[in-house]
Structure 1
Amino acid sequence: MTKPAFSFQDLRTHNNIVYPTYQEYAAAIGLFASETEGEYALMEAIAALKTPYQLHVFFVHLLVNDCLEQHADMWSKYQDSLSYDYYLENSANSVLAKELCLRHISQLLEEFGLHLSRFGIEEPVEYTDEVLHEIGRWSAHTEELMAEVESAYQSFTVEQRFVFKEFHNPIHNGMPLYIFLDGKAGRGKTFLIHTIVNYVRSIGKVAVVTATSAFAALLYPGGRTAHSAFKVPVQENNELLVAEVEYNSPRADLLQEASVIFWDEAPMANCAVLECVDILLRNICQRDEPFGGKFLPVRVIFGKHVLSSFLWESFQIRRLTIPIRNASDPEFASYVDSVGDGAGPYIPLPCLDNLTLYLFQYLLSYVFSSRKGPLKECRVLLVALYYGKDCLRYIAGIPSSYYCTTPDPYAQFGPYFSYLVVVKIIA
């Protein structure tokens, strides 16, 4: 026969023994047969189709009353069920779902004056939505990404393996490293960078991939232009550029969280853009080191603008020299290299001279002579080949010429610089 209780102490008394906690009293009278009863209760709640919010509250009570044996293990084991509502609300983004679930559980624990760290569960990282989106975007594909990395590594050349291994410590330890990756076409630069990006994302870290041109940015999953990634204003002839990224903005958090930043075709950008990004990352990371100490590999070919910047001294040069794309045909690979260097053979075709002249004159009269009305009020951009001046005769306005920095190897009167482009602007 159970005696009635007349005080809170009576509620903790069994066989004339006063237990210090209600949990110990419940265990003494057989309500908790073992320390795993808390887990059984949680499993039963999940099986009973309780809402995730109710599961959060119940999980907190199990933590507060010390009903779970291994708190961190229980969270790891049942986190998918506890965060399922956030998973559905956020387009199956499991990383974001677990982060939001931990935040809610942490808030419930604060009502008891407790924190997740008290139970050996890591506190939720206060990521902004942009960082969570970037991490969650690849979290569901980590195994696939790692499989691609392992497959790619097996096919690497000796040079590629050396560079890949060199990246390992900076990625994991946050050590600053600035790599200038150089190589002619077909040497596997894009393949190497793509593999490194996959590796970074497969271990749950952030990789920001940028390029000077939009076309190059499309070569990489998640790639974006440098102007978009760093919000550098597009202004010509401006050496005092200021990136439009606020210190506490989501974009600043993304750049700060990035383990590695790639910048393809960096020499195509003005050195003012590179130095603008340097100042931005120094301010965001609060580190007076080049690019804020961020690990910055730059996959490019040599360019005047980068070489003229004071930041150039910070870079280590790594060159890929082994042909991959045309490895089975060394003669053709050598020919492609010579064409890329502007030193390819000149092959005259006299039989096409008259035909070319006729077609060119016909083309000029067809395209330009019939331009009337609104079509005249536009700007025309012409590649400065031999026919550039002939085209300008059909267009009104003042022409402007811009020069490139590459000497013309076929110049008859010394190493004069060749025309890069001819622009005629209609007033």
Structure 2
Amino acid sequence: MLVIRQKPHKLLTKLGITTIDEQPVVYGETSNVNDIVERAISHKSIFLGWMAANMSYPYARSLTYAEFPTKFVWKDDSSKWFSRKKGFAIGRLTHVPVANTEEYYQQLLLNTQRGCMSFRDIRTVGRIIYAMYRDACFVLGLLQDDKKFIDAVKEASSWASGSYVRRLFVIILTSNNISRPKHVWDRCWHELSDDILYRQRAVMNMRELTMSDDEIKQLCLMDIDKILHSYGETLKDYPPMPLATEVDSSLGDIVLNVASSGIASLLLPNGRTAHSRFKILLNITEDSVCNIKPGSPQAMLLLKAKLIIWNEAPMVSRHCYEALDKYLGDIMRCSPTYSKDFSFGGKMVVLGEDFRQILPVIPRGSRQDIVHLTLNSSYLWKFCQVLKLTKNMRLSIGTTTSDQDETEQFGEWLLKVGDGLIGDNMDGESEI
């Protein structure tokens, strides 16, 4: 006789993480505000309940947050942890991406710290209370050493210009792999600001100009912050990096250059692909919007921008432009320049390129499907003012007056090729 024994079921307990002064509250559209506040005060999250349990149960202080469900069970009705009398459960912490900085480092500490009764206890190591979770992680050896990044910056400075080294530093920052950005800055600021004094002497036309170290650091930080803005971020996103104190990095008007393809974006000053800049979904539909969090650096950059230039516009689906239109209309509502009667929230957008080029690619799509997704099939087309260019600037470069007629004829021939008026003969002969 075959006897099958079923293994005891192991319950999986999802452990949420709460940052200080940020307890999540769920409520309906018709809920009363006072009831919501009272419920938030009386109801503790699983995470805050863990801290309270560490105060009440001395033996609980030997467990990490992830180990807690093995000895305790959470009761939603009372919002408390109770000693487990039977059964077994596995704790799993909620995933936090690296880009969320302090929340990510808090999660790392929760895998090792035990008996925490407050947020301060989480970042306490050897009776020393550290100001940030990241510093505590570094002391505990949970983060990698930044020496390789320091060596990379110093090595690049031996053969590259100062502006190149600063861009390299920004790329390292935005990769979210540096454990202590300020430490790398303190060790490498000389290399990062190597050409700052020379540039200032050239700008001010003063060969004998001298500057203090603090002044050079400020100008270097200003340049780094300006580069970060092209990525939709600022130095404030990388604490405790020092900030530029004497300048607003948004002096002048901001113009965002984007393109529909990656190759074209490389040819634009500070260019990015439209999908990268506006966080447009790859599998986009008519209901999609830009995946940019309101109040984020990317959203603030879009608010400050005076002009958006979108190159190779006809190549992508009209839903991409409509997603940007809906998002800008949403975040521009608080702006004095907002008007519901204008597209893109009243922001000036230039959509450039030639409709003779590639239209949106639809796998196995019919002609009707392709036309339906083109820009001029969008509700935005009625807001567009069509401006036609009349001079081929590429052909005019390097030509003389005697070649002008021939150049104009060649330009017209190119347009006829694009319009399909040349090369359609079926007798085997074509104009070349």
TM tier, shorter chain? 0.3 to 0.5
Q: TM-score, normalised by structure 2?
A: 0.35
Structure of larger gyration radius: 1
Higher relative contact order (CA 8 A, sep 6+): 1
> If each structure's helix is expressed as a fraction of its own residues, which one has the higher value?
1
Q: TM-score, normalised by structure 1?
A: 0.36
